[in-house]
Amino acid sequence: MRIKIEDYFGNDVIALQFCLKDSNVSEHQDRVDKVNEIAIDHGYSVADIDEDEQGEYIRVQQIDVIDDIVDEGEQEAINLTMLVSNLTADLM
C-alpha cells in the first residue's frame, strides 16, 4: 500500500510505501478508513484513492492552509512528523 501526503495546495510532501504487493487500495476500505482516522488527528484527511503506473495509492491532503508564520510552520512540521510516525506504527 502506498500513501502520498500533500500540502493544502496539492504539492507532494512525502510518499510512504508499505507492502508493494498491496496495490489495489480500493479493495481495502478498512485500511483507507484507518488512514483517514489517523490523518484527521493531525490536520490531514484522505482526499481520494488515485492511481499511477504502479497501481492505486491513498492521497492524503492537509485540511487547512498554514501561513508562513514561524510558530505555525513549526507546529505543522510536528503534525506531519506525528502523522507519519502514527501511520507507520499502525499500518505495518
The 10s digit of each residue's pLDDT in 36-48 is 999 999 999 999 9
Query: In this predicted structure, what is the pLDDT of residue 87?
Result: 86
Q: How many residues does the chain have?
A: 92
Helices H / strands E in the chain, number of each: 2, 4
Residues with Cβ within 8 Å of 9's Cβ and at least 6 positions away in sequence, in order, are: 65
Task: Decide which of 75 and 32 is more confident.
Answer: 32
- In sequence order, the β-bridge partners of residue 48 are 59
- As a whole number of Å, the CA-based R_g of the chain is 13
Mean of the pLDDT values across residues 10-19?
87
Report pTM: 0.82
Mean of the pLDDT values across residues 27-32?
84
Helix axes 70-91, 29-40, angle to 10 degrees: 150
